[in-house]
Amino acid sequence: MILYPPIQFDQNEWFILVSLLIVAALFIWLPKRFPPIITALLLLYIAAVAIVADHVLGGAYKKNLYDFQDREKYEWFDVVLQLFVYPLFGYLVYYIYDIWRQKNWHTLLFIGLATLFSTIFEGISVWFRVFVYTGWHLFYSFLFYLCIIPITIFLLEKMKYYIQQYRQHVKK
C-alpha cells in the first residue's frame, strides 16, 4: 500500500494533530487504570475496528461512502488517525466507563452518552474535513457507535474477568 502526503497541510491535518496531542496527553497523564495487557489489547482492538470499518465503508468495495481528508487515496494522516487518535480516544471512553461502572451508575446511560460524545467528535471531524461524506450520514455513525460501544464494553469486561481468574489461579 502506498501512503501519500497531504495535498496541502490544512485544517484536517491540524485537527488530527491537535486531537492526537490531547488524547495522548490524557493517556500519559491519567493514572493507569487497566493492566498493561488489557490496555494493549484494547488499543489494538479499537485500531482494528477503525481500520476495518474505514476500509470497508471508505471505498474498498463497490460503494465509497466517505473519503478521508483531501483525497480518495490513503494519506499519512489516515495512519495517524487510525493507529493513534482512534485507539487513544476509545481508550479514554472506556477509561471513563470503568470509573462510571465502579460508581454503580447505569451502563445503558453510559452507552448513550458515549455514543453521543463519539458522534459529536466525528461531527467536528467532518466539519474540519477529516471525513468527506459521499453517501454516509452522521446518523449512521451514531448507530455504529451504539452497536460497537456495548460490544467493546462486553470484551473489556471479559478481558478483566479472565485476567482476574488467571491471577487467582497463579496465586494458588
User: Mean of the pLDDT values across residues 47-70?
Assistant: 82
Which helix or strand (DSSP H or E) is residue 144 part of?
helix 138-171
Percent of the chain with pLDDT over 70: 97
Quote the CA–CA distance of 95 and 88 in Å, as a whole number: 10
* Residue 114: per-residue pLDDT: 98
Amino acid at 150: P
pTM of the model: 0.90
Backbone angles phi, psi at 46, to 5 degrees: -65, -40
pLDDT surpasses 80 at 172: no
* Residue 171: per-residue pLDDT: 80
Nearest to 71 by CA among 61, 58, 82, 80: 58
- Which one is predicted more confidently, 3 or 158? 158
- Which one is predicted more confidently, 106 or 43? 43
Q: Where are the domains of the chain?
A: 11-26+34-171
pLDDT surpasses 80 at 8: yes
- Which one is predicted more confidently, 11 or 4? 11
Count of alpha carbons within 13 angstroms of residue 73, beta-carbon side: 9
* Residue 23: per-residue pLDDT: 98
* Residue 58: per-residue pLDDT: 75
Quote the CA–CA distance of 104 and 76 in Å, as a whole number: 42
Cβ proximity of 7 and 70 under 8 Å:
yes
Strands (E), the chain: 66-68, 131-133
* Residue 169: per-residue pLDDT: 87
User: Mean of the pLDDT values across residues 31-41?
Assistant: 95
Amino acid at 71: R
Give the mean pLDDT of the chain. 92
Q: Which three cell numbers stand for residue 70?
A: 483531501
User: Mean of the pLDDT values across residues 12-37?
Assistant: 97
Quote the CA–CA distance of 125 and 12 in Å, as a whole number: 8
End-to-end CA distance of the chain: 49
Cβ proximity of 75 and 69 under 8 Å:
yes
| Per-residue pLDDT tens digits for 105-157 | 789 999 999 999 999 999 999 999 999 998 999 999 999 999 999 999 999 99
